[in-house]
A and B are shown apart, each in its own frame.
Chain A
Amino acid sequence: MNKEAALSVAERDFILDALREDVRLDGRSADQLRPLTLSFGEEYGHVKVQLGKTSLIVRISAEVAKPHDDRPFDGIFSIAMELTAMGSPAWENGRQGDFETYVTNVLDRVIRHSNALDTESLCVLKGVSCWTIRADVHITGYDGNLIDASCIGVMAGLQHFRRPDAVVKEGQVIVYGIDEKVPVPLNITHKPLSVTFHTFDEGKLVILDATRKEEQASEADVVIGLNNAGDVCYLSKFSGSPVDAMVFVTKTTVALEKVKELNGIIDKALQADLAKRAKGGLAEQARAENDRLIG
């Protein structure tokens, strides 16, 4: 159970007064994201996301497994998120709280059910073996807006991941190592991201990318999941006091603009990493050659 320290009356009133003057605790405007930094590890599919103080690490891994009997053509894609005491002292290790179920549920809806990863491309041999892609999300620091940060992490991880190449020769599947054959990227159909809004003052004030204190002081939260093309794949107002319907309409346009901005940041980071690997790759081969020369 999540017993984060309750907000004091002074803090709640102050945050509300500040928002009425369009001022936020960290000087951002209502529709401004916190600074987002994305960094990639050496293995493919290892992403570190830092959104303000909220930080997380996503690891994507692939394995050959037997497809489900009812869908022999499809591969399997699963997202596993476990909130540990590393993210926040209030979370308990080994016990699933309702906050964890809520975030995992939204993440599943936005990315898995919207078929962001085409599972048919994961099938190797119909009914016998297919690729199982597993995305592990480790929350290393929670300061609000966990859903958006996790979506960014998982989507960046999927686009960064390369699975080993597999070939079928007369019923026998041959999996080539990463160093033998160029690994294959995943087939991403579209790039959905979620944007969470928090409302104050019966929906008159709506802010984006709230910190933990702003989340605790807010009355309701609205989550909109959409992709670059503007197709909404997830829309939810889960709890809290009622929100005027027009908020959904006006905020969806803001959400689309933010999703494009975020996908731009992800793509830029991916290019930078590809360039580094390509340069690194050449250096690697160069070193390998002169190793052979010397060796």
Chain B
Amino acid sequence: MSSPLILLPGDEVPTDYLPSNGSAPLRLGPGLRLLSEAHPTPASTSKHVLTATQAGILSTDNKRNAISILSSSNRRYVPTPNDLVIAQVHHSSVDYFYCMITPQSPHAVLGQLSFEGATKKTRPMLQGGDLVYARVLSTGLGAGAEVEIACVNPATGKSEPGGLGPLKGGMVFDISTGFAARLIRASSAPSEQQEVAGLVVLDELGKKLEKVGGFEIAVGRNGKVWVDCSNSEDNAVRATVAIGRCLTAIDEHNLNPTDQRKLVTRILREMKIES
């Protein structure tokens, strides 16, 4: 499509940007609102209009017939169902853990049994400060309802390949929610499509740290990345710090793929990891 359409709150979405197949129901992503005619005069059928509520680029996804606004990447994460998040357990009660997804907002509820293979007796022992990789189950109805997260797919009872569950060791770095979304899209999309998200840092690091024993990474949509290189004994710490520095630098300066490669080599050299 032509240069992407940037909308400001109050602007109407021009109809030619709507996804093609009008049959399937149109799904609205964040940042959009459907307004109906205030006083539908009996003559005209009530006119509906799509207006933006946030400023950003209009992105239409014809496959899933969804339309949403890509707004600024530094905004605060608002829990939405089916998002993968890294939560930090704050305290636990009889059968629930209360975890923090974003600071300065109420805790999310994580059932003590919603882990893979967890039973009354073999439930995981988590204390305050432990990290958990979970999926947002529901954000409750009505104002101020509790957000519920779980580390297991309620349907199958198994945690998907993503490796939901407690995260042991490693280090967590803070990145912007927009960059986290890009990382998730890049890592979930088949490798050759990584170019689309403009991120080569992950497989670049993968190649460079192959010899040193590679690394494990989990990206939370709430702007947290968990990195662990425990299987490269001596320079485990330095490798983790290198990965963390690469991600935060790319997030801050919005580097394009070639600069990302240069940055990775420079930081690995600085951290004295022979690649």
Residues of A near any B CB (own CB < 8 A): 3-14, 17-18, 21, 23-27, 89-90
**B169 within 8 A of partner (CB):** yes
Q: Is the CB of B237 within 8 A of A17?
A: yes
**Residues of chain A with a CB closer than 8 A to B270's CB:** 27
State whether the Cβ of B199 lies closer than 8 Å to any Cβ in chain A. Answer: no
Using Cβ atoms and an 8 Å threshold, which residues of chain A touch B129?
Answer: 6-10, 12
Chain B residues positioned under 8 Å from A3 (CB to CB): 104
A7 to chain B, nearest CB (A): 7
B207-249 CB contact bits vs A (8 Å, 1 = yes)? 0000000000000000000100000000001101100110000
Residues of A within 8 A of B205 (CB): none
Give the tally of cross-chain contacts (CB within 8 A).
Answer: 63
Give every chain A residue within 8 A of B104 (Cβ-Cβ).
3, 5, 89-90
Residue from B90, B100, B244 in contact with A25 in the complex, judged by beta carbons closer than 8 Å: B244
CB distance from A31 to the nearest CB of B (A): 17
Q: Which residue of A lies closest to B249 (CB)?
A: A26
CA distance A164 to B103 in the complex (A): 47
B241 and A10 contacting across the interface, CB-CB below 8 Å: no
Minimum-distance CB pairs A-B, first 5:
A5-B103, A9-B129, A14-B171, A8-B88, A8-B129
Q: Which listed residue, A4, A5, A7, A23, touches B241 by the CB 8 Å rule?
A: A23
A21 to chain B: which residues have CB within 8 Å? 237-238
Q: Are A90 and B103 in contact (CB under 8 A)?
A: yes
A25, B248: Cα distance in complex, Å: 11
Q: What residues of A have a CB within 8 angstroms of the CB of B245 in the complex?
A: 25-27
Contact of A23 among B100, B128, B168, B237 (CB under 8 A): B237
Q: Is A10 within 8 A of B237, CB to CB?
A: no
Q: Are A89 and B171 in contact (CB under 8 A)?
A: no
B271 at interface by CB-CB < 8 Å: yes
Q: A7 contacts which chain B residues (CB < 8 A)?
A: 129
Residues of A within 8 A of B238 (CB): 21, 23
Q: How far is the CA of A10 from the CA of B170 in the complex (A)?
A: 6
- Considering the complex, which residues of chain B in the window 177-206 have a beta carbon less than 8 Å from any beta carbon of chain A? none
B102-118 residues with Cβ-Cβ distance < 8 A to A are 103-104
Q: Mark B57-101, 1 if CB is under 8 A from A, else 0.
A: 000000000000000000000000000000010100000000010
B131 and A10 contact, CB distance less than 8 A:
yes
